[in-house]
Amino acid sequence: MLSPLKNISRFLGIDTAKEKYRYGIDPQFGYTSQEKIPDHWVKTTCGYCSVGCGMYLGVREGHAVAVHGDSDHPVNHGILCPKGLTEHHFIHSKDRATEPLLKIKGRLRPVHWETALNTLVDRFVRIQRNYGNQALGVLSTGQLVTEEFYALGKLVQLGFKTTNYDGNTTLCMSTAVAGYKRSFGSDGPPGCYADFEVADCIFLVGANIADNHPILWDHLRKNTSRTLIVADPRLSKTAMLADLYLPVKPRSDLTLINGIMKILIDAGKIDRIYIARHTHRFEELVSHLKKYSLDFVSEQTGLPRDLIKKVAHTYGDAKAGLIAWTMGVNHSTQGTETVNAINTLALITGNIGRPGAAPFSITGQCNAMGTREAGFTSSLPGYRKFENLQDREELARIWKVPVEEIPQERGWAYPDIIEGIVKGKIKALWILATNPFVSYPNQELLKDAISRLEFLVVQDGFHPTPTTEVADLVLPAAMWGEKEGTYTNSERRVLKVNRAVDPPGEARSDFDIFLEIAKKLGVSNALFSGWKKPRDAFEEWKTVSQGRLCDYSHMTYEAIEAQGGIQWGGERLYTNGEYPTSDRKARLWAVDGCSEPEPPNDRYPFLLNTGRTVEHWHTRTKTGRIELLEKMSPEAWVEINPEDARQLKIRQHEVVRVASQRGEIPKVAVRITSTVPSGHLFIPFHYIEACANNLTVSEFDPISREPNYKQCAVKVEKLSFAERGGF
Ligand code: SF4
């Protein structure tokens, strides 16, 4: 039998087969004991990231005991990454939230659901009566099923009548959303995973897919004739696999894209027919790019001139060029404009709407796309615009409500809700399936904000978490494996999620909780008439989405499941060059980069970069409870360049302190490595014990409101003999 660690390290090559379980062999972890052999399997979709891998969840006597990849699934063909392979382990974790808890005399005590939900409605309504409807803020997640997002949006905006509703998608994908809207007139990633298999040139900007979206690598691996270009200040695992690696200076990605556009325009390697037929403002772009000389771009990006030229011509000469990005672009105060530059490069070279040719954002959470489509956050359901009267009238007609009830503008985004609490405008907050006490930047500010609330409700699958611990009311929620609905993955593929086991104790699905709250608020008939199950919400959502870019009207639960998901909008968007704008044309953007919000200085001489590792997921609420993943990556670390370590006299694995103007990580182990350039540090953001967000800065993209997690100024300090514990 291979050791679990050795086995799991082979994950990229495993094609699992459920037959093996019948003989007591777990294909990933070697032999399993007899009692772990499932008595049946339930087809479902992974609940971590937005790759959207198909899998089976094995159940024995009501317990989730195994998973294996779905060999027939078009996304992953049976392969799973370490998180997917161990996903069943969190379901029966001892830290699951099992009963509603209400703070009474300073302590959280168990109460009946009736009391819990009556209290929620009473307190929210009372606070809204005292301070106005907008005094209630709601922070949601990318982890619910689409049916729940649709229900929650209606409940919050039409039931509680507050627009101060956002989700942690704003900490992740709102930049891509804003960029798509500004370029194409609507949210919606244009490309698909098959593009990774057929593109001649794949250009990854700030995207470490080997760690963060591992199964996408399997699509890329099939493409043996492509050139892979990776731009990333850190030599990530993905960068190590590149044909051309661009160690760009932080925040110079936008300048690099502008430089590439100028080279291609000057060389005539652009698609003038596509530009003329399908875009606006080309002349403005040409004039804007005059200042992006090769020397200027080389100086700004830190890249050699020849390398920049080579990259430009490789992309320009490709018959099909794919540019994909994730958080290296999104987590920045210039993120939206960088997305616009990427989209513009794709448009002027005609690299959109064809096999292998697209600008393509790789989404974060399993159903961040679902909240974008059906929620009320970045747009009205069905990508309708708040500001568009026709869109509002259409929704009002479908819902049979006066048009005045449909909000005319979106409320505050996540960081503005937090600021709103500090300013005394938001008095009650409802947090669902997210853990800001690890994930939000500048934790000191967040703690200050939360301490000012009159009432905090946290709805989560686990307790305690850093966020449930400070709640006034905790609502225990069912999680993945315990409820039904749909997710949409990064390539717009709507996927089925199924209930395999019962939730623990008294925990209920988020969907049931929303329906119950609506009853107590007296809006059940108006909002959820006849709804009993997620399928009822799905049927209504099909009507609401009909005729929109994200049209579900042709889908059924059965067809979604049978086909391994159905992509709304077809395999690719914009195949005919028409865009959802008033004149059907896309807009080209002439934009410049801006300086770092907090450059290194004498006191804080290092630039901190943050990111993820393959074994963990976001704030480790789930993965931190899985023994195997914890063993693989038990604690945070800080990466430092050998030259800097030598100057500071820091040894490999030494424990140091890292501090910024806002806070510190008192103890974190050092990894001396050339993967980070001199002057840079890297810390994974998953660990509350060494919380990178104690350090990060309260700066946000002015358009998308996404945080600038990627750069802030920090210092590294050696610990004293006593601080090290006397060794
Ligand atoms: S790549 Fe994402 S969706 Fe696939 S198994 Fe891993 S975490 Fe799950």
- Which atom of ligand 1 is least distant from the CA of 214? 1
- The reply to whether ligand 1 has any atom less than 6 angstroms from the CB of 629 is no
Regarding beta strands 25-26 and 30-31, do their DSSP bridges make them parallel or antiparallel, or are they unpaired?
Answer: antiparallel
Ligand 1, pocket-test mutation among 55, 73, 77, 81, most atoms within 8 A of CB: 81
* CATH 3.40.50.740 in the chain, residue ranges: 101-168+366-563
| Alpha helices for 241-361 (secondary structure H) | 253-266, 272-278, 282-288, 294-301, 305-317, 327-330, 335-348
Q: How far is the CA of 707 from the centre of ligand 1 (A)?
A: 24
- The reply to whether ligand 1 has any atom less than 6 angstroms from the CB of 53 is yes
Determine the distance from the C-alpha atom of residue 23 to the mean position of all C-alpha atoms in its chain, rounded to a whole number: 38
Q: How far is the CA of 96 from the centre of ligand 1 (A)?
A: 22
Q: How far apart are the first and last CA of the chain?
A: 39
pLDDT per residue as tens digits for the range 104-125: 999 999 999 999 999 999 999 9
- The reply to whether ligand 1 has any atom less than 6 angstroms from the CB of 75 is no
For the chain, give percent helix, strand, coil, nearest 5. 35, 20, 45
The residue type of 483 is K
CA–CA separation, 364 vs 353, rounded Å? 23
- The reply to whether ligand 1 has any atom less than 6 angstroms from the CB of 637 is no
Q: How far is the CA of 84 from the centre of ligand 1 (A)?
A: 5
Q: For 59, how many CA atoms within 13 A lie in the half-sphere containing its CB?
A: 17
Confidence of residue 33 (pLDDT cuts 50, 70, 90): low
pLDDT of residue 5: 39
The pLDDT mean for the chain works out to: 92
Dig out the tokens for 6 from the structure.
Answer: 């050795």
Sheet with 455-460, strands from edge to edge, namely 107-110, 101-104, 473-476, 455-460, 428-432, 136-140, 165-167
Residue 44 has pLDDT above 60, yes or no: yes
* Contact (Cβ atoms closer than 8 angstroms) between residue 379 and residue 385: yes
> What is the mean predicted confidence (pLDDT) over 175-204?
96
Q: How far is the CA of 315 from the centre of ligand 1 (A)?
A: 29
> What is the mean predicted confidence (pLDDT) over 238-263?
96
Of 711, 712, 709, 602, whose CA–CA distance to 662 is shortest? 712
CA–CA separation, 659 vs 666, rounded Å? 8
Confidence of residue 1 (pLDDT cuts 50, 70, 90): very low
Q: How far is the CA of 289 from the centre of ligand 1 (A)?
A: 40
Dig out the tokens for 490 from the structure.
Answer: 């990064």
Confidence of residue 223 (pLDDT cuts 50, 70, 90): very high
Secondary structure of residue 23 in the 3-state scheme: coil
Regarding beta strands 101-104 and 107-110, do their DSSP bridges make them parallel or antiparallel, or are they unpaired?
Answer: antiparallel
Residue 352 has pLDDT above 80, yes or no: yes
- The reply to whether ligand 1 has any atom less than 6 angstroms from the CB of 97 is no
pLDDT of residue 685: 85
CA–CA separation, 155 vs 519, rounded Å? 10
* CATH 3.40.228.10 in the chain, residue ranges: 190-361
Dig out the tokens for 383 from the structure.
Answer: 């990508």
* 322-331, 359-368, 450-459, 679-688: which is most confident: 450-459
Percent of the chain with pLDDT strictly greater than 90:
82
Residue 16 has pLDDT above 50, yes or no: no
Name the one residue in this structure whose structure tokens are 């495993």. 14
Ligand 1, pocket-test mutation among 215, 616, 618, 620, most atoms within 8 A of CB: 215
The residue type of 529 is S
Confidence of residue 18 (pLDDT cuts 50, 70, 90): very low
The residue contributing the CA closest to ligand 1 atom 2 is 49
pLDDT of residue 688: 83
Residue 22 has pLDDT above 80, yes or no: no
Confidence of residue 401 (pLDDT cuts 50, 70, 90): very high
> What is the mean predicted confidence (pLDDT) over 221-234?
95
pLDDT per residue as tens digits for the range 472-501: 999 999 999 999 999 999 999 999 999 999
Q: Bigger pLDDT: 556 or 629? A: 556
Q: How far is the CA of 142 from the centre of ligand 1 (A)?
A: 14
pLDDT of residue 23: 39
Assigned CATH for 190-361: 3.40.228.10
Q: How far is the CA of 217 from the centre of ligand 1 (A)?
A: 11
- The reply to whether ligand 1 has any atom less than 6 angstroms from the CB of 614 is no
The residue type of 55 is M
> What is the mean predicted confidence (pLDDT) over 25-53?
77
CA–CA separation, 601 vs 273, rounded Å? 49
Name the one residue in this structure whose structure tokens are 């090290």. 724
101-168+366-563 is classed CATH 3.40.50.740: yes
Ligand 1, pocket-test mutation among 16, 28, 44, 53, most atoms within 8 A of CB: 53
- The reply to whether ligand 1 has any atom less than 6 angstroms from the CB of 52 is yes
Of 495, 53, 587, 505, whose CA–CA distance to 275 is shortest? 587
> What is the mean predicted confidence (pLDDT) over 154-180?
93
CA–CA separation, 555 vs 563, rounded Å? 11
The residue contributing the CA closest to ligand 1 atom 6 is 81
Neighbours of 287 (CB within 10 A): 10
The string over 689-714, giving b where at least 16 C-beta atoms fall within 10 Å of a residue's C-beta and e elsewhere, is ebbbbbbbbbbbbebbbbbbbbbbbb
pLDDT of residue 727: 57
Q: Quick check: bond before 464 cis, omega within 30?
A: yes
- Cα distances from 481 to residues 45, 66, 87, 502, in angstroms, run 9, 12, 9, 8
* 7-11, 463-467, 609-613, 683-687: which is most confident: 463-467
CA–CA separation, 31 vs 20, rounded Å? 10
Q: How far is the CA of 531 from the centre of ligand 1 (A)?
A: 31
* Contact (Cβ atoms closer than 8 angstroms) between residue 501 and residue 484: no
pLDDT per residue as tens digits for the range 124-137: 999 999 999 999 99
- The reply to whether ligand 1 has any atom less than 6 angstroms from the CB of 461 is no
* Contact (Cβ atoms closer than 8 angstroms) between residue 261 and residue 268: no
pLDDT of residue 188: 95
The string over 556-595, giving b where at least 16 C-beta atoms fall within 10 Å of a residue's C-beta and e elsewhere, is ebeebbebbbbbbbeebbbeebebbeeeebbbbbbbebee
CA–CA separation, 219 vs 12, rounded Å? 11
pLDDT of residue 208: 93
pLDDT of residue 34: 54
pLDDT of residue 582: 94
- The reply to whether ligand 1 has any atom less than 6 angstroms from the CB of 215 is yes
- The reply to whether ligand 1 has any atom less than 6 angstroms from the CB of 8 is no
* CATH 2.40.40.20 in the chain, residue ranges: 606-718
> What is the mean predicted confidence (pLDDT) over 362-390?
92
pLDDT of residue 25: 45
pLDDT of residue 122: 98
- The reply to whether ligand 1 has any atom less than 6 angstroms from the CB of 82 is no
Confidence of residue 726 (pLDDT cuts 50, 70, 90): low
- Which atom of ligand 1 is least distant from the CA of 47? 8
Neighbours of 294 (CB within 10 A): 16
Confidence of residue 2 (pLDDT cuts 50, 70, 90): very low
Q: How far is the CA of 541 from the centre of ligand 1 (A)?
A: 26
Query: Which positions ≥6 away from 340 have C-beta within 8 Å?
Result: 179, 182, 183, 589, 591
CATH of 4-90, one of 1.10.260.40, 3.30.420.80, 3.40.50.2000, 2.20.25.90: 2.20.25.90
pLDDT per residue as tens digits for the range 584-633: 999 999 999 888 889 999 999 999 999 888 888 888 888 888 888 888 88
CATH of 606-718, one of 3.30.70.3170, 2.40.40.20, 2.40.30.10, 3.20.190.10: 2.40.40.20
- The reply to whether ligand 1 has any atom less than 6 angstroms from the CB of 51 is yes
pTM confidence score: 0.93
The residue contributing the CA closest to ligand 1 atom 4 is 53
- Sign (positive/negative) of CA torsion 169, 172, 173, 176? positive
Residue 8 has pLDDT above 70, yes or no: no
* 398 φ/ψ sector (left φ>0, alpha ψ -120 to 50, else beta): alpha
Ligand 1, pocket-test mutation among 46, 85, 632, most atoms within 8 A of CB: 46
Confidence of residue 17 (pLDDT cuts 50, 70, 90): very low
Query: Which positions ≥6 away from 107 have C-beta within 8 Å?
Result: none
* Contact (Cβ atoms closer than 8 angstroms) between residue 664 and residue 607: no
Residue 11 has pLDDT above 50, yes or no: no
- The reply to whether ligand 1 has any atom less than 6 angstroms from the CB of 46 is yes
- Which atom of ligand 1 is least distant from the CA of 82? 6
- In three-state form (DSSP H/G/I as H, E/B as E, the rest C), the secondary structure along 468-511 is HHHCCEEEEECCCCCCCEEEECCCCEEEEECCCCCCCCCCECHH
Dig out the tokens for 662 from the structure.
Answer: 């806002």
> What is the mean predicted confidence (pLDDT) over 418-442?
94
* Contact (Cβ atoms closer than 8 angstroms) between residue 694 and residue 714: no
Largest CA distance in the chain: 73
Q: How far is the CA of 264 from the centre of ligand 1 (A)?
A: 36
Residues, the chain = 727
DSSP structural state of residue 248: P
